[in-house]
Structure 1
Amino acid sequence: MTKIDELIQELCPDGVETFPLEECCNILDKKRKPVTKNSREKGEYPYYGANGVQDYVSDYIFNGKFVLVGEDGSVITKSGTPVVTWAEGKIWVNNHAHVIEEKSGTMLRYLYFYIQTIDVTSLIHGNIPKLTGRDFRSLKIALPPLEIQREIVSILDNFTNLTAELTAELTARKTQYGYYRDKLLEVETDIHKYTLGEIATVTKLAGFEFTNYVTYSERGNIIALRGLNVKNGKLDLSDVKYIDKSDFSKLERSKLHIGDMLFTYVGTVGQVAIVDEEDKYYLAPNVALIRFDKKILLPQYMKYYFQTTQFWDKQIRRLLQSSSMQNIPMEKIRKFEIIVPPFDVQNRIVNVLDNFEKICSDLNIGLPAEIEARQKQYEYYRDKLLTFAETGNTILSRAEQSRAEQSRAEQSTN
């Protein structure tokens, strides 16, 4: 029998009572204040939204320890639980996150862990997902005695601290990787310089092709690669659209081949990935195809080149156009200046960076696999530790209990 089992048997043998969230904490939503991006003054204080820090500003409206829970926008995880953030110190919170602080009788850290286990799927509605204030205040919290709360928090904090240490280690390695990538790809004066359009075909899916000949479906084998499928130098196939029923005779220009690069030019600009399979992918809107002259350039070399700090600082950021959505026109992409070292140098750089990237990113080895395993372990024990047998009685709020006790006392004196 564990210590928690012993405590439950001693302190609440008949089960753990459940209370509305508003009875367990102070809800500070009325103190929140949104500030538009253009009106924010840059500073040192975190500016929180529905899913964490959105910016840093010059002032704060809260000071202490808080739990933030997404109200609208990014409010629900893939498992159907709320998006929950722990925040400490001097902070600003906009009106997209509910704010709670500790109240006597309940540990705030306990609430932080417990709210992560609540299925709110049935409470989220609207075109923009929303967890209303009323539904938020009414969330049911199983609340054991403080001694049990402390023991649970201690165990779960040990899990989260270990994961945080591993994540910090991985972040340090990625920073190191970025440094060496930039150093390896620094501009040299004695090698060739081209515009991208001189050494590559740069094109996009024409509107009429998409409208007239492409048919999307949720199942199939042939995928139209969209901007959201291009992330951090790789293809992300977690959300894809299939086009097996499209008129491929009209889409030959959009067919992708091994070694083709995808480059996002609308919205999240500048993400790149390399096509690694034949007869599987076609180009979708809002992402460009870059097909290099392979006698001059290795596509894998260019993938790394496009991710360097110096390329972003000198070329992408100065070309970004502000509209309703950031974008770079196709003619400006073709004018990117590309420094091209000899082929053997490109090969050496690619080999070094491929190995380094694998250490940092491959989920089958090293720190990423360890972090993923620890996260799953944490979630398993969190859910297990925070599942209690409830009391058989009807659960009343603390105010209702107080009124009921007062009523029984009055009846006993009559």
Structure 2
Amino acid sequence: MSRLDELIEELCPDGVEYKQIKDIAWTGIGLATSVTKYKRDKGVVLIHNSDIKQNKIELKNREFLDEAFVKKNKNKVHQLHDIITVHTGDVGTSAVIEEAYVGSIGFTTIITRINDFNEVSPYYLSHYLNSHLFKAEVNRKSISDRNNLNQKDFEAITIAVPPLEVQREIVHILDYFMLLTTELTDKLIAEFTARKKQYEFYRDKLLSRDEKYPMKSLAELGKWSGGKTPSMSEKSFWEQGTVPWISSKDMKSSTLEDTQDHITEKAVKEASMTVYPANSIAVVTRSGILKHTFPVAYIPFETTINQDIKMLVVNEDILPRYAFHVIQGKGNDILVKTKKQGGTVDSLDFQKVLAYKVPVPSKDIQSKLVEVLDNFESICTDLNIGLPAEIEARQKQYEYYRDLLLTFAETGSMLMTDRQTDRQTDRQTDRQTDRVECD
């Protein structure tokens, strides 16, 4: 029998009490007024909705508020061991405060202060609010908007409140499980990063034969052209569309399988869209992503593109996969040498892109290089596909055990965990045995 089993057997063998949040915690709304004019280079850390993850806070950017302003709004300041809970969007996402934070304009937060109640561990409550059990309880309520939970509705949610010793043991188990999950995730990411760097190293090595192979400009690799966007107001151009239409948001993988948006044959005809042949190469020339990345993708299917994309249809003496690898391999250098300065949206000087020169060996050598580079890319792609799936599986495993550990029988009811049901069955069997022996 585990330590948790022993505690449950001793302290709550017949179930636990369920209480409304208002009976176990003090709640309050975070800042709801504009704070932009109170931002400073130092002061009290400002936290945003997107910074709150399950059981942790990850600040994307450190921003600070004027301390005098914070003092005037001290009831909005999160204190040590408070719980900050999102109730707009991903309702219930919670974390325990480890330093002083304040809320931010654009969303409201609920401060769950339980220090004075001494009935609930903040870490236990944080795990509970993050659980599917809490979301199921929200869904059972008659709430008009479950994606924007108000303070009254939040306070009315009921949760299981086992004895503090049981809460602490559950937190100990879940924290350990989270630690193992995090460590494994870090190892998987490190493995993928190492393989990706190895691939990039060998790719760059194979493609850095400027003195050995003839050099050609990207313009000489084939025909380059751009696309456009059919009228969004014309529904017949988009509804039930079957023709792929590439935009910057699709350019997240090196080989596309499909596009998020599709247009109709009517749009192709009436909007004079160019349909590019399979095995073309797409590059992004205008997008915020160009701040740090030059997206290049191999397109193995016929497609159209928008105005932020340029497409290369290679000449006969160029293998499409070689053109893809060499452009992708030189991507960082292309970005540095062709990016326009200024402007509201990051973009490339495409004439400079066309003038950029790359090594172009014979087709036979291109074929050999492609074979090697495709093998390397395949390994990285498999890891890239498997990594999120493995991380998701570990997260689901943690969530399963979290919900199992947080499920208790309500006092006087028949809602029990498997463990409690087994114990009740054992007790009934023991009583029946005692009666038989007495008879």
Provide TM-score, normalisation by structure 1.
0.68
After TM superposition, the structure 1 = structure 2 runs for residues 15-414 of structure 1, keeping only pairs within 5 Å, are: 15-20=16-21, 23-24=24-25, 29-30=30-31, 48-52=47-51, 53=58, 55-57=60-62, 64=80, 67-70=83-86, 72=88, 75-76=89-90, 82-84=92-94, 88=98, 94-95=104-105, 96=107, 98=109, 100=112, 103=115, 104-116=118-130, 117=132, 118-119=134-135, 130-132=148-150, 135-136=153-154, 138-184=156-202, 185=204, 189-190=210-211, 191=213, 194-207=216-229, 215-217=237-239, 222-235=243-256, 240-244=260-264, 246-250=266-270, 253-264=273-284, 265-269=286-290, 270-278=294-302, 281-284=303-306, 286-293=308-315, 295-296=317-318, 298-299=320-321, 302=324, 305-306=327-328, 310-311=332-333, 314-315=336-337, 318-319=339-340, 322-323=343-344, 326-328=345-347, 331=350, 334-335=353-354, 337-340=356-359, 342=361, 343=366, 346-347=369-370, 350-363=373-386, 368-391=388-411
Q: Does the 8 A contact of 1:319 with 1:332 survive in 2?
A: no
SS at match of 2:128: helix
Taking a change above 3 Å as real, the CA distance of residues 155 and 249 of structure 1, as seen in their structure-2 partners, is same
Amino acid at match of 1:57: R
Deviation at 1:357, TM superposition (A): 0.6
Report the RMSD for the aligned CA atoms in angstroms: 4.6
CA 1:372/1:66 → structure 2, altered by over 3 Å: closer, same or farther?
same
Which structure would you say has the larger Rg? 2
CA distance 1:309–1:256, shift in 2 (3 Å): closer
> CA–CA distance in 2 between the matches of 1:234 and 1:66?
46
Question: Between the two proteins, what is the percent identity of the paired residues?
Answer: 22
Gaps of 5+ in 1: 394-414
Q: Is the 8 A contact 2:267 2:273 kept in 1?
A: no
Contact 2:217 2:357 survives alignment (8 Å): yes
Structure 1 residue 164: Cα displacement: 0.7
Distance 1:173 1:105, change over 3 A: same
Compare 241-250 and 380-389 and name the one that shifted more: 241-250
Deviations 1:178-212 (A, max 9, x none): 43344332655425555544435444433457666
The alignment of Structure 1 onto Structure 2 pairs a total of residues equal to 372
In the alignment, the residues of structure 1 paired with residue 195 and residue 251 of structure 2 have an alpha-carbon distance, to the nearest angstrom, of 20
CA distance in 1, matches of 2:335, 2:22: 47
Q: Which runs of 5+ in 2 are unaligned?
A: 52-57, 68-77, 414-439
Q: 1:139, 1:93 → 2: CA distance?
A: 22
Distance 2:301 2:113 in 1: 52
Structure having the larger proportion of residues in helix: 2
Q: Distance in 2 between matches of 1:338 and 1:240?
A: 33
User: How far 1:111 moved relative to its partner?
Assistant: 2.3
> How big is the shift at 1:377?
1.3
TM-score (norm 2): 0.65
The residue type paired with residue 198 of structure 2 is Y
CA distance in 1, matches of 2:301, 2:9: 59
Alpha-carbon distance in structure 2 between the residues aligned to 1:362 and 1:257:
27
